[in-house]
Amino acid sequence: MLQASSCVVFDLDGTLADTSGDLLAAANSCFRAMGVGDQLGPEDAQEALNGGRAMLRRGLGRLGPVDEEVVNRWYQPLLTAYADAICVHTVLYPGVVAALETLRSEGRALAVCTNKPEGLAETLLRALHVRDYFGALVGADTLPVRKPDAAPYHLAVRQAGDAPRSMLLGDTETDYRTARAAGVPIALVTFGHEGAGVSRLQPDALLEHFEQLPELARQLLDQR
């Protein structure tokens, strides 16, 4: 098998798929179990992408001072609730599959590098029927460090075939910092929960729709 000349590495939450609905539902199940009712709504979608503990802190903060012991106590129940209903509201962003097909047909390796725990990311990608597109999946717990450390990114590229050129597609400052640490081009999507506000980070490119990704990859990977 020939080595791919380049690799596109994807973040997952907020980049490949809108996962906020199921994340918020898992957090709210914890708040209901506490006896305080739902504390998070659609307006908290961005916080959902910051992880389980961030959601717990947001909801608890609406009730009073946040006790980190309570956050830690409910973190595992939140993960369990999420795992039990990981793909109820979650959907791929429009055009993802077509873009993956085109990138693969052009000989590019594909990988996922996410701060979601690896097992949950594996389950979700399979539920969305896109796992087989990716030659590698690196999650928050694959290594002792996570994004924005560059090590998970480099591991994803190596496991996907160790292409000499690569880029990251993400939606947050964490992704931006990861790419800068790794010394690779970064494109940020404008259809995530921060929207066009990601332009403040001055990435190498902005992606408004997945149909633009193959051409953007050519610009960032083939014309440099």
- Domain limits of the chain? 6-18+90-222, 20-84
- Verify whether residue 149 is a known catalytic residue: no
Which residues lie below 8 Å from residue 170, measured CB to CB, with a gap of 6+? 10, 11, 14, 15, 176, 178, 179, 186, 187, 188, 189
pLDDT above 90: percentage of residues in the chain: 92
Question: For the structural domain made of 6-18+90-222, what CATH number should be given?
Answer: 3.40.50.1000
* Candidate list 11, 22, 44, 171, residue with the active-site label: 11
Q: Determine contact, residues 23/12, Cβ cutoff 8 Å.
A: no
Q: Check: pTM over 0.85? Answer yes or no.
A: yes
pLDDT tens figures, 17-27: 999 999 999 99
CA 100/CA 130 separation, integer angstroms: 9
CA 218/CA 215 separation, integer angstroms: 5
CA 58/CA 55 separation, integer angstroms: 5
What phi and psi, each to the nearest 5 degrees, are found at residue 13? -65, 125
CA 112/CA 175 separation, integer angstroms: 12
pLDDT tens figures, 15-70: 999 999 999 999 999 999 999 999 999 999 888 888 899 999 999 999 999 999 99
Which residues lie below 8 Å from residue 28, measured CB to CB, with a gap of 6+? 38, 39, 40, 59
- What angle is formed at CA 123 by the lines to CA 194 and CA 38, rounded to 5 degrees? 55
